[in-house]
Amino acid sequence: MTDLRPWLVPTLAGPFVTMWTLTILALLLIGDGALRVFGFDLDTWAMAFFLSGAFASGLFVFLAIADVVLLATKRRAVPTGSAAFKSAALSPFAFWAVSLLPIPVTSLFVAILWAVTAMALSAFAIRWLLGKPIDAT
């Protein structure tokens, strides 16, 4: 595969579409104080979109790493087209499911470490569950 666009574009767009849609819905339905980060309300739409975009960027990085590792170990083929978009768009929900595991958060460092670990676990899980195995020929 020499053209990376069928894999890269949906993998990049999926988390952003989901996160920005959820941000818009939260801000419209609940109001400007809908999103709280470390106890502070996000009062502006710009800040909400910046933080959700940063989160989506992190998910994209871990999805790309998961794809490369799963391909290198010959566990899954690189998803392309709608399959790549579907699994990438569902990755924020996979992160939410993984982050529900009971981990005692004692400091900001532990919270950030757990968020990064949850991103990595959710990226690998979603690509593993929704990916195609490599044909054993």
The structural domains of the chain, with segments of one domain joined by +, span 5-130
Instruction: Say which DSSP state 79 is in.
Output: P
What's the predicted TM-score (pTM) here? 0.82
| Number of helices followed by number of strands (H, E) in the chain | 4, 2
* 2-27 residue pLDDT tens: 777 888 888 888 899 999 999 888 87
pLDDT one-digit tens code per residue, 35-83: 666 666 656 777 788 889 999 999 999 999 999 998 888 888 888 888 8
Per-position b or e across 94-128, b if 16+ CB within 10 A of its CB: bbeebeeeeeeeeeeeeeeebeeebbbbbbbbbbe
